[in-house]
A and B are shown apart, each in its own frame.
Chain A
Amino acid sequence: MKIIACYSNKGGVGKTTTSVNLAYAYARAGKQVLLCDLDPQGASGFYLRVKPSKKLTEARFFEDVKRFVNAIRASDFEGLDVLPANLTFRDFDVFLSRMRNKRSRLKKALIAAGSDYDVIILDCPPNFSTLSENIFKAADEIVVPVVPTTLSERSFDQLVSFFDEHKLRKKKLRAFFSMVQRRKTLHHETMDMMRERYRRRFLKCVIPFAADVEKMGQHRAPVSVYAGRSAASAAYQALYEELENGVVSGK
């Protein structure tokens, strides 16, 4: 079982769209995938039409394997299941901070409840907290969408420093540029600069800013389902290929 976290300490960078589309790509490749919506807003559940879980509260998430397992829902797509969010997930931090071994709780819960799956993808809320420390610890890979703007650059710097300070394995960080607009000079300059500075941290693949991605809210399905031949769909497929096989697609 592999755990992939989709994380950014900055909001609005495309975490949820990445989580959903990446999870779908894994499922299409024949893997059994569980997408965990850890963000109390429950956006990835919304994209897959899965209603928020009423019964799974934060305490049960960590302590009651049976409840955790029972809250899992099949999506409309073969091989892709969803653990929908619950509003109490916003209190994960308070809950976790009171617990012993507070940094490894998430990993334990996922291993106990997610044994049916080849891949677990975590759609994470944007902040530094006990939960995010848990995520850093649990994940085998942390996929970080970075919009090539000054503010995002700053956030990524903060993330890397956090890893340095807490002696976390930076190798887990797999950043990629998200919502890239080819016509913006600033985007190109920022991308070049960051690739220079963080040579090993960035994937080659780039997700473009595209109307097709924004339409996910209307279609409530992964991009490849309703716009299979779009550039965005190809980009998410490329992201999957590069993450999974280290293959960079031609385009």
Chain B
Amino acid sequence: MTLKTDGFFVLPGAFDDDVFAQVLTDWTVRFGTATASKSFILLDCHDQSLRVSGQMLIETDGTLQLLQGNGESWVQNSTAKGRFVQELLCGSVREALQGFPELRALTGIGAGRVENRSLTILDDQQKTQVRGDLMALSCKTGRATIIRVQRLRGYDRAFVAVCSALTEMGGNADGVEAVFQALFPGMVPYQAKPEVRLGQTEPSVQVATDIIRTYLTVARRNEDGVIADVDTEFLHDYRVSLRRVRSVLDLFKGVFSERQSAELKQVFSDLMAPTGRVRDLDVYLLEKDIYFNLIPSKLHVGLDVMFEQFEKQRAQELSRLSRRFRSAAYDRSMNTLIELFSVTDRLEPGPNATRGANEYACALIWKRYRKVCKLARSINEETPDKAVHDLRIDCKKLRYLMEFFAPLFARKRFKLILKPLKKLQDSLGLFNDYSIQQEALLDFVSQQSNAQGQVQAQLGMAVGGLIAVLDQRQRAERDRVIASFQQFDGPDTRHLFRSLFHHKKE
């Protein structure tokens, strides 16, 4: 069911009926009797995608209600099979949530009690001139009232009066964000890529420390989700954050002393290592349907066997990883790291530690850009795959560098460069995926084979079929890499790179 209202207001705290009635002197205000108070759960995913997009999803008594700040709302049954949007029952809420990330699960991010009342504004003939409803939400940390009002044709004066009365009472018409703030004032939305503020001349050791500390914190905010196995994005974000830390250590050469750099690289490599297998298995399982579509159904029996194995392995690997995340030793080591990066003076500076951020950024990015171009221009039909893999790594490094230092540069021009770079990276990513998947499949088969190197026929056929298809795709993607690079290597992008990062000292 979809409902459209014309006015949407959020009043922090409780709603004062008398004040509202006193402001509207020309009309009679009538409130309906309140419904019995019900408990509600506020649903969103970990990164609060709904909240960020100005929406609010609440579940009460087997009903899901989705609210938008423009007054639109949807209601449907909530007896869901799963926690993902695509697993909700068919209905208007699910329909309205179509753009919601498929990999993110909905979880309760807050709870409280809700009470509904109707609102009618009448004239002296007892004719309704404005209709509406009030939704009073309360929880341990706050209260808020959502007031939705409907404009009735021909009664604009009353509608305008009601809206200005609500504004006068402190009503906020900017959408659902005010509800979150009133109910859960301390709640900090999770951000996978928080902006790290940088100054143009900030010493680069400070930049490195800030970035590392930020991403360590981001990583930590994903641990609980991994343990509870809410969705696969928690582990993914955890790994991406650590990868960013590692790339700072790797790319910001000379910022820390050689000894400390080497030591830190080892520490973070050790942190990353135990997560790799679970993530690989997550990816295979997420792409299960794709694998099945790659080969004819005659060969599916073998795939069933393979995916059963994957699921079993994932459960084992995840419980191992969860145990690690819950261990006191892990907690201690993470806390020590955060402490280490809380200020710069606990770190040993290297020769580049005091270089100004902007100057250092330009030097790093320009150098990496030149390297990418040189490598990419050398790639043709005959170059070995390894060159393409190297190009992927260099592009990734370039991208990280640009993202780290983005706050120092003009946003618009930056976006112009990033777009073709992303496209090139997508292509390189696919090329790499096809190649890694083939290796992984061969690995899997060798694990499953007996002492004589024989495997079950159906499994062998399925994997053989997959490898054949993946190999073809990989070759096709290679052509696309060359095409994407040519786009990236256009005169506009070249000019932008030069003007942003290469100021010749003359």
Contact = CB atoms under 8 A, between A and B. Distances in A.
Interface of A: 48-51, 70-74, 76, 81, 220
Contacts of B126: 49, 220
Nearest to A82: B154
B127 A81 contact: no
Interface string B88-130: 0000000000000000000000000000000000010111100
A76 B128 contact: yes
A36 to B, nearest CB: 14
Interface in B143-172: 152-155
Nearest to B124: A51
A50 B127 CA distance: 7
A73 B128 contact: no
Contact of B153 (A48, A51, A73, A220): A73
B107 to A, nearest CB: 37
Contacts of B153: 72-74, 81
Contacts of B127: 48-51, 76
Contacts of A48: 127
Contacts, number: 28
A51 B157 CA distance: 15
B124 to A, nearest CB: 9
A70 B155 CA distance: 10
Interface of B: 123, 125-128, 152-155
B155 A73 contact: yes
A81 B155 CA distance: 12
B154 A72 contact: yes
Contacts of B154: 70-74, 81
A76 B129 CA distance: 8
Nearest to B151: A74
Nearest to B120: A76
Nearest to A116: B153
B125 A51 contact: yes
Contacts of A51: 123, 125, 127
A30 to B, nearest CB: 14
Identify which of A51, A73, A74, A81 gathers the most chain B CB atoms within 10 Å of its CB: A74
A175 B123 CA distance: 37
A240 B126 CA distance: 28
A76 B125 CA distance: 12
Residue among B123, B126, B154, B155 with the highest chain A CB neighbour number at 10 A: B154
A103 B371 CA distance: 84
Contacts of B125: 49-51, 220
A202 to B, nearest CB: 36
A71 B153 CA distance: 9
B1 to A, nearest CB: 14
Contacts of A72: 153-154
10 contacts: A49-B125, A50-B127, A51-B123, A73-B152, A73-B155, A74-B152, A74-B153, A74-B154, A76-B127, A76-B128
A72 B152 CA distance: 10
A69 B126 CA distance: 23
A100 B153 CA distance: 32
B151 to A, nearest CB: 9
A73 B125 CA distance: 14
A49 B28 CA distance: 15
A27 B133 CA distance: 23
A49 B126 CA distance: 7
Contacts of A71: 154
Q: Which one of B126, B128, B152, B153 has the greatest number of beta carbons of chain A within 10 Å?
A: B153
A60 to B, nearest CB: 15
For the complex of A and B, the 6 pairs showing the least CB-CB separation, nearest first, are: A73-B154, A49-B127, A74-B152, A74-B153, A49-B125, A76-B128
A49 B155 CA distance: 13
A50 B155 CA distance: 11
Contacts of A49: 123, 125-127
A81 B128 CA distance: 12
Contacts of A76: 127-128
A31 to B, nearest CB: 16
Contacts of B155: 73-74
A50 B152 CA distance: 12
A74 B123 CA distance: 13
A33 to B, nearest CB: 12
A233 B314 CA distance: 66
Given A72-B153, A73-B154, 9 more contacts: A48-B127, A49-B125, A50-B125, A70-B154, A74-B154, A76-B127, A76-B128, A81-B153, A220-B126
B427 to A, nearest CB: 51
A37 B123 CA distance: 20
A75 B128 CA distance: 8
Nearest to A73: B154
A48 B152 CA distance: 14
A114 to B, nearest CB: 13
Contacts of B128: 76
Contacts of B123: 49, 51
A189 B125 CA distance: 43
A73 B152 CA distance: 7
A70 to B, nearest CB: 7
